[in-house]
Amino acid sequence: MCGIWALFGSDECLSVQCLCAMKIAHRGPDAFRFENVNGFTNCCFGFHRLAIVDQLYGMQPLRVKKFPYLWLCYNGEIYNFKQLQKQFGFDYQTLVDGEVILHLYNKGGIEQTASMLDGVFAFILLDTANRKVFLGRDTYGVRPLFKVLTDDGFLGVCSEAKGLIDLKHNMSFPPKVEPFPPGHYEVLDLKPSGKVASVEVVKFHSPKDEPLHAAYSSLQNLPSDFDIETVKSNIRILFENAVKKRLMAHRRIGCLLSGGLDSSLVAATLIKLMKEENITYPLQTFAIGMEDSPDLLAARKVAAHIGSEHHEVIFNSEEGIQVLEDVIFSLETYDITTVRASVGMYLVSKYIRKKTDSAVIFSGEGSDELTQGYIYFHKAPTPEESAEESERLLRELYLFDVLRADRTTAAHGLELRVPFLDHRFTSYYLSLPAELRIPKNGVEKHLLREAFEDTNLLPKEILWRPKEAFSDGLTSIKKSWFSILQDYIDTQVDDLLLEKAANKFPFNPPKTKEGYFYRQIFEKRYPDRADWLPHYWMPRWIKATDPSARTLKHYKSDAKE
């Protein structure tokens, strides 16, 4: 996890512009570099480094003697860089996984490069010999990327929007900053003036497609029939492989553990594989909640079962409310459910950074979208519509859960790893017949649970524990986190303000005081940028007025009725 920033064709003095790059310093607490591009005095790169691999030669922009005309700034991890080296005989000059991008580009151009990367990434690649700039982002947008491109060819690129909004340029209004679309790359011509012109934006991978790099994977030829035992075995093999490849790190690995199915599967699989790989330190697991929260109790059970070094972070409602403004600034969104769920993740990340030496943090994001874990999936009219909804949620992850997980961890200089969003694992799961993937016997994610039924990875009551939204499981059943927030906000937002909300905020007008409160904070930090969120996250197929799972009729908690 790092922070990348680049400008091409700046009219303003670069020493003034580079102050904007410091807005993402939290993403890379270990080192910073600012570098001009030879021959293009108005083009530059800024890089904030969190050193996870190759402590010695990992600074960026990355350049190697073999390709003196290539400049690479990237944020991410490429898990198959060694397999590709072996396959194509690449001669690496560093231990940096991202160096493979330079070699792939030299060998086969940008389309093959983007398609062959097994990992999470956002990159800026400059080819001064051919006067091209390339931008690329991974399939699910696990690593963030924003850009601004003006009509006169000034390009700014950054890991977070906050590094672009204050750029100076000869325009009467602020230039439009927008997220770069996941699973795409862009080709731009670089003019002698340093300005650029966009040539094309190309989609190189969709969640359903088996990735091109699968042909070079060490995991080959899984049986392709849909016999249930075969399917369950394939799910276990691919999930374990997803976790194993993500062990690549020179820093300590930890894992978020809510006690729900997803994070528990990740943590249990991590412990198993760390033993096999002879990683000698114990796995630190981290749970957060208020006193008597169901998440804390469940996480304690899992930690005892798997034998992790378990940490509990207890917070109260005042502490949660106090960080709301910082959380919204970090997130760059005002989506209600994202803000709610981010408070706990922000506070636990703060604890990890201050009190432990874990820097690479595993988490269970992506599973709910992939395996139909949201409670409203019980109301889907048909398996086919369930499958379509699952794909829609995966396409929009970069606006919601993946955004939350990146920003809350990155705010504290941690690197996030999300094995459920592994390319092979997701494309396989989405290839299964729609009727296999739907909730069954009143239980969501039935297939995933069934796949691990006989493994003893987890206690049975955890494996079959009903879905809790992260923001709900933080607190007791008596009073949900969203109720605590709403009670506080009720005193902060006048009824009259809410009545006039549509006049003040015509785009995505808030319908509740909570929504209004978050929007006010967002507009204070990011005025007139509301279109970063195309729509609020809400359940489908039911008349929901709130995104919390606890407001749905199907909700089942650990508490007895």
Contacts of residue 22, defined as CB under 8 A and 6 or more positions apart, other chains included, come to none
Does residue 247 contact residue 274 with C-beta atoms inside 8 Å? yes
Cα 375 to the center of its chain, rounded Å? 22
Find the helix packing angle between 336-355 and 481-490, rounded to 10°: 110
Catalytic residue positions, numbered: 2
Does residue 286 contact residue 257 with C-beta atoms inside 8 Å? yes
Does residue 189 contact residue 200 with C-beta atoms inside 8 Å? no
Does residue 179 contact residue 173 with C-beta atoms inside 8 Å? no
Question: In 10 A of CB 64, how many CB atoms?
Answer: 17
C-alpha to C-alpha distance for 17 and 20, rounded to whole angstroms: 6
C-alpha closest to that of 413 among 365, 345, 349:
349
C-alpha to C-alpha distance for 398 and 406, rounded to whole angstroms: 9
Cis bond before residue 223 (omega within 30° of 0): no
Q: Give alpha helix (H) positions in 117-227.
A: none
C-alpha to C-alpha distance for 366 and 141, rounded to whole angstroms: 11
Q: Is 363 annotated as a binding residue?
A: yes
Q: Is 515 annotated as a binding residue?
A: no
- The 3-state DSSP composition of the chain as helix, strand, coil percent (nearest 5) reads 40, 20, 40
C-alpha closest to that of 165 among 4, 35, 17:
17
CA torsion angle 270 274 279 281 (round to 10): 50
Q: Write the DSSP string, 386-401.
A: HHHHHHHHHHTGGGTH
Find the helix packing angle between 294-306 and 261-276, rounded to 10°: 20
Does residue 424 contact residue 205 with C-beta atoms inside 8 Å? no
Q: Give alpha helix (H) positions in 246-371.
A: 261-276, 294-306, 317-322, 324-331, 336-355, 367-370
Q: Is 50 annotated as a binding residue?
A: no
Q: Is 97 annotated as a binding residue?
A: yes
C-alpha to C-alpha distance for 302 and 240, rounded to whole angstroms: 18
Query: Looking up tokens 């691990």, which residue turns up?
Result: 452
Q: Is 227 annotated as a binding residue?
A: no
In the sheet that holds 132-137, the strands lie side by side as: 62-64, 67-78, 119-127, 132-137, 184-190, 196-203
C-alpha to C-alpha distance for 382 and 542, rounded to whole angstroms: 14
Burial group, residue 292, by CB count within 10 angstroms (0-12, 13-18, 19+): exposed
**Binding-site residue set for L-glutamine:** 97
**Binding-site residue set:** 97, 256, 288, 363-364
**Binding-site residue set for ATP:** 256, 288, 363-364
